[in-house]
Amino acid sequence: MFDVDRLLGRASLKERIDELEDETERLRSRYEAESERRATAATARQEAEETINRLEDRIAQLEGELERVDGVDSGLEFRSRERMRGTELADVLDRLASIRTAPEGALTAVVSDGETGVGHRGVDLDDVLGERAALLDDASPCVCYVDDAGLVSVALRPPILPAIEPTWDDRFAVDREWFLGTDRYVLALVRADLFALGVYDGDERTAYRGFESDVKGAHSKGGFSQARFERIRDDQIDDHLERCRATLSEYRSDRPGDEPLYLTGQRGVIDTLVDDGTLEPDATTAVDATGDPKSALDDAHRSFWTTDVLVL
């Protein structure tokens, strides 16, 4: 019996169609698997970005725990460790400022990251503190206060790290402006989707600006949809940061005073704003401030004006 398909040459075509259908199914399976893998990776990356700011705010706490563990191994640990702000901190500063010694009996030394050790800026901290000088590796950046009788030995991590040389005097150099908001200043909070700016006179906020931007959140579809989503999200963040720059520049032009500017928020966002050279903040701090712009700014303000007090 004649095979009509083979006689007309259709058999080979049907076989080829079957092969192509099988190949199409294999490619579809590979595509779906790859899309799922990319979607999972992209979602994980986005979730990681959203938690970076929270993790940065916990670093200080984790470092403190690490210091205590290291202290067990080395036999050294801080005698006490407190986080202070407001009236409680002001009382500690007043007490330090009230101390009087013989001439050159009180040392004030600013210790920056990576600058601890013997011979720090002409002062032998190892000679002054002995083995406890090693604790400054964990305390820095800080302002270290030590007297020659060994009665005072404390390191404070202020919001504003001063640029002063180590000094032996009959009293400690304690400037409240390093630790407390005493005069007029501007504090801004910047996140990838939120901006808030406050003008302060001491702890009192006298002016406020804030807004939120529509920035896409997590995405899990994968494939071309994922790539398009990420491009849109990046563009939205860029637009948001440009709006933040414009608001800060507008404030600067409207108020030609010399109030210092302090930037808080997500570290990566702060670095992006600062790296382009248009902003020169007097201090920056990563904070975990959430909620609407005004309440988030309140959280950022409290976090910024908090000092670690470490008794060596």
What are 117-134's pLDDT values in tens digits? Answer: 444 556 778 888 988 888
The CA-CA-CA angle for residues 211, 212, 218, to 5°, reads: 170
Closest CA to 260 of 154, 184, 176, 204: 184
pLDDT top residue among 253 and 86: 86
Q: Are residues 126 and 265 in the same domain?
A: no
Is 5 domain-assigned?
no
Q: Are residues 248 and 265 in the same domain?
A: yes
Region of residue 18 (left: phi > 0; alpha: psi -120 to 50; beta: else): alpha
Q: pTM, whole model, 2 decimals?
A: 0.70
Dihedral sign computed on CA atoms, order 106, 110, 113, 115: negative
Length of the chain: 312
Is 1 domain-assigned?
no
Q: Collapsing DSSP states into helix, strand and coil, what is residue 36?
A: helix
Q: Which of 179, 202, 223 is the last residue of a domain?
A: 179
**Is the bond preceding 141 in cis, omega lying within 30 degrees of 0?**
yes
Domain holding 162: CATH number? Answer: 3.30.960
Domain holding 287: CATH number? Answer: 3.30.420.60
Question: pLDDT at residue 256 above 50?
Answer: yes
Q: Which of 122, 153, 179 is the last residue of a domain?
A: 179
pLDDT top residue among 261 and 20: 261
Q: Are 312 and 153 in contact (CB under 8 A)?
A: yes
Q: Are residues 100 and 155 in the same domain?
A: yes
Is 290 domain-assigned?
yes
| Residues whose CB is less than 8 angstroms from the CB of residue 299 and which lie 6 or more positions away in sequence, other chains included | 287, 288, 289, 290, 291
Distance CA 46, CA 230 (A): 10
Closest CA to 197 of 254, 238, 159: 254
Distance CA 236, CA 287 (A): 22
Is 3 domain-assigned?
no
Residue 18 pairs with which residues in a beta bridge? none
Distance CA 302, CA 187 (A): 11
Distance CA 31, CA 41 (A): 15
Question: pLDDT at residue 308 above 80?
Answer: yes
Q: Domain count of the chain?
A: 2
Q: Are residues 173 and 235 in the same domain?
A: no
> Mean pLDDT across the stretch 51-79?
67
* Domain that includes residue 117, residue range: 78-179
Write out pLDDT tens, residues 268-291.
Answer: 889 888 887 678 889 999 998 888
> Mean pLDDT across the stretch 33-43?
68
Q: Which of 179, 201, 226 is the last residue of a domain?
A: 179
Instruction: Give the DSSP letter of residue 286.
Output: E
Q: What is the mean pLDDT of the chain?
A: 81
Confidence of residue 309 (pLDDT cuts 50, 70, 90): very high
Is 2 domain-assigned?
no
The CA-CA-CA angle for residues 153, 180, 184, to 5°, reads: 150
